[in-house]
Amino acid sequence: MAFGAFANTGPDLSAAAPRRRSYVALILLLPGVLYLVATFVAPLVSLVLTSFKEPGGDFEVGEYVYAFRWENYTEAIGRFGEIFLRTFGYSALATILALLISYPLAYFIGVSLRRFPLWQSLTLILVIAPFFISFLLRTLALKAIFADEGPVVPALQSIGILSSDQYLNGTAFTVVLGLTYNYIPFMTLPIYASLERLDLRYVEAGGDLYAGPAQRFWRIILPLSIPGVVSGTLLTFIPASGDYVNASKDFLGSTNTVMAGNVINDLFFQSFYPVSAAVSILLMIAILIPVTAYVARSGSEDLL
């Protein structure tokens, strides 16, 4: 169910008609599956092949030939090891912040507002509202808000949190805040979907058995909403770790906040394809390992 959060919550799959075996299935599947093989699997293979390429005979930039050059990987790790750590630090922090903000919000909409369907719909629309305005423009809006002449920096300086020569844009603070803000709906929606279906009689039963509010939360509400938390964490962490818009210097970052995505992007456009591909592969492996472990631990074998 990891990614089921975006699906309409309908009745159980078991309620559907029994599955048949027919050549029709092949006709239905083939076009889409072939398309994904050509545009998803083949590019991944191409990425792996590219990551082992070596410079071509005339050593022109952008000219590479197929080879087995392991050094692309050692170079990627050696040059960008610190950036990998930073990428994970930033995206983990953003994911935790998004969870801390989203959980109470999702509880409020999914449980507290349950008896007011109209308000529930309206607040839900507010949650997804950021989806509808350009991702880049809302990030630039954040940049303007945290600019030196914006409303926040002078206010923080006047109460002494920032000294007069300190700034916010281009620091880890704004990058993590941008990542949190941009991916928060991905966290809120799946948690909401879990809490909205939460059977409150379990919570009442807990109360009848003299569980206090804290116990009812930790031992009833939270465990029942874990599928939503797992989905939300993945849906936030994965895109955040590959993001390079927030961290780029024209947006909320600077040369001190470079993330793995920025490296992949910059090397690609400087035509250093092999090392860019090596960084991509390393990023993908580095994400798939914890994600697989996380999904396995939280017991969601059914991925879709």
- From 73-81, 144-152, 159-167, 222-230, give the range in contact with other proteins by CB under 8 A: 144-152
Position 55 contacts other proteins (CB under 8 A)? no
| Residue 57 interacting with other proteins (CB under 8 A) | no
Residue 133 touching other proteins (CB under 8 A)? yes
SS3 for 97-118 is HHHHHHHHHHHHHHHHCCCCHH
Among 125, 155, 222, 293, binds other proteins (CB under 8 A): 125
Report if residue 241 touches other proteins, rule: CB under 8 A.
yes
Q: What angle do CA 244, 130, 242 make, to 5 degrees?
A: 20
Tokens of 104: 């109470």
- CB of 275 vs other proteins, minimal distance in Å: 11
Pick the piece of the chain touching other proteins (CB under 8 A) from 75-83, 118-126, 154-162, 189-197.
118-126
CB 176, CB 108: distance < 8 Å:
no
Q: Does 290 bind other proteins (CB under 8 A)?
A: no
Site for other proteins in 61-100 (CB under 8 A): none
Taking CB under 8 A as the criterion, the residue among 55, 67, 75, 108 binding other proteins is: 108
96: closest CA among 184, 215, 168, 193?
A: 184
In this chain, which of 61, 70, 79, 135 binds other proteins, going by CB under 8 A?
135
Among 55, 92, 138, 254, binds other proteins (CB under 8 A): 138
Closer of 60 and 163 to other proteins (Cβ): 60
Token code pair at residue 88: 């994970």
- Of 76-84, 156-164, 168-176, 277-285, the window that binds other proteins (rule: CB under 8 A) is 277-285
Distance, CA of 51 to CA of 45 (rounded, Å): 10
132 binds other proteins (CB under 8 A): yes
The two tokens of residue 70 are 């392991």
Distance CA 103, CA 275 (A): 39
CB-nearer residue toward other proteins: 125 or 222:
125
Size of the site for other proteins (CB under 8 A): 107
Rounded Cα distance between 168 and 14, Å, is: 53
Binding of other proteins by 155 (CB under 8 A):
no
Residue in 65, 77, 222, 288 binding other proteins, rule: CB under 8 A: 288
Helix (H, G, I), strand (E, B) or coil at 284: helix
User: In this chain, which stretch among 71-79, 153-161, 164-172, 261-269 interacts with other proteins, using CB under 8 A?
Assistant: 261-269
Taking the complex as a whole, the smallest distance from the CB of residue 120 to other proteins amounts, in Å, to 10
Q: How far apart are CA 26 and CA 9, in angstroms?
A: 27
C-alpha 18: how far from chain center: 36
Q: How far apart are CA 242 and CA 87, in angstroms?
A: 8
d(CA 252, CA 240): 14
